[in-house]
């Protein structure tokens, strides 16, 4: 006896992550503990509530929200949730969905850029090449605010000019090709 599910964002989230949004009874404990809730446009509990409504307009608001990108994956919400709802997993999925549907919140540009720069660096060297990563990030975002840090980092020997590569780069490329990589 299987119930036919609407193909809403909510049902997809529940299917892909295995997290049951419907279990949330809106106690708000996640929002209470979230370190960045004050910066968010919608608090974690509100995001879950919006998903619960199964309403397409609200679903789009969720995907366009800044909140999903502000989430630090610090897991505080999950470890205190009385209903054991793994919110960070939901956030992960929503982020990927919002990129896929080109709905990334403008304020999150820098964050996404940083993530992408990071991944492309790995794709090319197998390891994080900080200089390359920073450079790409700075160029993409035209944000040179704390470029001043770099010289210090060199002085402290914290930055290598040349990347340290993984020898067997093929395997890395392979991994990227096999895991439907999003264009960096």
Q: Which stretch binds other proteins (CB under 8 A): 4-12, 51-59, 74-82?
A: 74-82
Rounded to whole angstroms, the Cα distance separating 32 from 45 reads 9
Smaller CB separation from other proteins, 21 or 30: 30
In Å, how far are 24, 89, 105, 170 from 109, measured between CA atoms?
30, 21, 7, 31
For the segment 101-130, give every residue that binds other proteins (CB under 8 A).
Answer: 110-116, 118-119, 122, 126-128, 130
* String of contacts with other proteins for each residue 20-59, x by CB under 8 A: -----xxxxxxxxxxxxxxx--xxxxx-------------
Using CB under 8 A as the binding rule, whether residue 15 contacts other proteins is answered as no
Question: Which residue's entry shows tokens 């490329």?
Answer: 173
Rounded to whole angstroms, the Cα distance separating 19 from 38 reads 25
Rounded to whole angstroms, the Cα distance separating 32 from 104 reads 25
Shortest separation between residue 142's beta carbon and other proteins, angstroms: 14
- Joined tokens for residue 124: 């090319």
Rounded to whole angstroms, the Cα distance separating 183 from 10 reads 26
Shortest separation between residue 6's beta carbon and other proteins, angstroms: 23
Give, to the nearest 10 degrees, the angle between helix 9-17 and helix 44-52.
Answer: 110
Tell me which of 5, 75, 101, 151 binds other proteins, using CB under 8 A: 75
Nearest Cα to Cα of residue 131 among 116, 147, 145: 147
Q: Which stretch binds other proteins (CB under 8 A): 3-11, 56-64, 95-103?
A: 95-103
Tell me which of 83, 101, 144, 151 binds other proteins, using CB under 8 A: 83
Smaller CB separation from other proteins, 63 or 134: 134
For the segment 130-169, give every residue that binds other proteins (CB under 8 A).
Answer: 130, 134, 137, 145-146, 149, 152-153, 156-160, 164, 166-168
Q: How far is CA 159 from the centre of its chain?
A: 26
Rounded to whole angstroms, the Cα distance separating 32 from 65 reads 19
Q: What number of chain residues touch other proteins (CB under 8 A)?
A: 81
């Amino acid at each position: 006896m299987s119930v036919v599910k609407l193909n809403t964002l909510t049902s997809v989230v529940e299917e892909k992550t295995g997290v049951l949004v419907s279990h949330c009874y809106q106690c708000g404990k996640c929002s209470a503990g979230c370190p960045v809730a004050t910066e968010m446009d919608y608090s974690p509990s509100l995001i879950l509530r919006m998903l619960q409504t199964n309403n397409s307009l609200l679903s789009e608001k969720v995907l366009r929200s800044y909140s999903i990108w502000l989430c630090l994956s610090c897991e505080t919400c999950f470890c205190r949730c009385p209903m054991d709802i793994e919110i960070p997993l939901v956030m992960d999925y929503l982020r990927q969905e919002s990129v896929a549907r080109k709905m990334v919140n403008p304020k999150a540009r820098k964050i996404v850029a940083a993530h992408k720069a990071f991944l492309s660096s790995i794709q090319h060297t197998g390891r994080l090449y900080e200089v390359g990563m920073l450079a790409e990030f700075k160029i993409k975002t035209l944000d040179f605010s704390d470029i001043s840090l770099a010289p210090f980092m060199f002085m402290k020997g914290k930055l290598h000019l040349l990347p340290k590569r993984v020898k067997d780069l093929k395997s890395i490329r392979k991994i990227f090709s096999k895991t439907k990589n999003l264009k960096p």
